Chains A and B, each alone.
Chain A
Amino acid sequence: MTKLLEWLLGVSLIGVAWGLVTFDLLDLQLPPQYRELAWPMPVYLLVAFGCYSLAAVGYRVATFNDCEDAAKELQAQIKEAKEDLKKKGLKMNHISLEVSHVHRAVYF
């Protein structure tokens, strides 16, 4: 089953349960508090999910590590590599420490 179908199935099940309780479709004579609670549930759940999403993404952005040391180490190793390769006989016409100007695919 694809994720889409899983979602549709899940949403349908929840939808049916909600419909049954809110509109008393099976004539279960549930107490009115159940119906009053169930009726706005979809909106509550959506809002709760929205808040959770904002909080989760916000937290993850805030704790997204910056790898300063990795960048420094890489710079140092680039220098070392170039010297070593020259010794080993590599001939490069133009080596620069600047970023090479190529179009690269976007990275998410």
Chain B
Amino acid sequence: MASRRGNAKTGEHSDKYSVLLPTYNERENLPLIVWLLAKYFGESGYNYEIIVIDDGSPDGTLQIAEQLQKIYGADKILLRPRAKKLGLGTAYIHGIKHASGNFVIIMDADLSHHPKFIAQFIEKQKEGGYDLVSGTRYRGDGGVYGWDLRRKLISRGANFVTQVLLRPGASDLTGSFRLYKKEVLEKLVEQCVSKGYVFQMEMIVRARQLGYTVGEVPISFVDRVYGESKLGGNEIVSFLKGLLTLFATT
């Protein structure tokens, strides 16, 4: 019934893609993202595993993950939980240690990033031999759903300032839907010191400095929680602080 596309078979059989999913209170989204990942990886034929790094979610995310493991198999769903909410950088380090793939995909677990783009990331990486491939909302037919004018203005404005100051050679720095060669991710996480989305920005800036090649794939970002996340003066100020820190230190 499910037919395998030819492209994955003619490529290297040794390539394996580890998807890192740091989760915190994603009891409802986790099954959905895993279902989508399994669906699209199944269709594309690429070898994969999903590593769920749950930071002690009080809502039972880990229990859901255990059920998913029974459904999809312990070779496909790996659980590597942590006791409490720690940083994203350490989540990646923790996840990489248990990743058996030679490529690592990082993405959000809340369905704002859609697994259908992963095959495009993989193909782009093969096409150019890139060390990392970044999803961009700002190029091609990339875009966002659920943002009003004010939000778009802030996003584009912030990105413009970032481009002028950092000249990073990538169009979308705060996006965190990316494919890395495993050793590249390891090296970068080691070097980066920032937190949060500034950390994602720093990864790309340092990647360029270290001479790694960056490819881009347009993605659509579906923001289902926009109404609830506040983007006010405080957040903007902290973004600028992070940006200026990168400006002065990289």
A residues within 8 Å of B by Cβ? Answer: 2-4, 7, 53, 56-57, 60-61, 64-68, 70-71, 74, 77-78, 81-82, 84-85, 88-92, 94-96, 99-108
Contacts and interface: CB of A to CB of B under 8 A. Distances in A.
B132 to A, nearest CB: 19
Contacts of A53: 160, 164
A74 B227 CA distance: 18
A3 B197 contact: no
Interface residues of B, number: 62
A77 B34 CA distance: 12
B67 interface: yes
Interface string B17-34: 000000011111101100
B158 A108 contact: yes
Closest 8 CB pairs of A and B: A65-B143, A67-B220, A70-B220, A81-B35, A71-B145, A67-B145, A108-B174, A60-B156
Interface of B: 24-29, 31-32, 35-36, 64, 67-68, 70-71, 110-112, 114, 138, 141-147, 149, 152-160, 164-167, 174, 196-197, 220-225, 227-231, 235, 239, 246-250
B11 to A, nearest CB: 26
A24 B69 CA distance: 76
A82 B32 contact: yes
B160 A64 contact: no
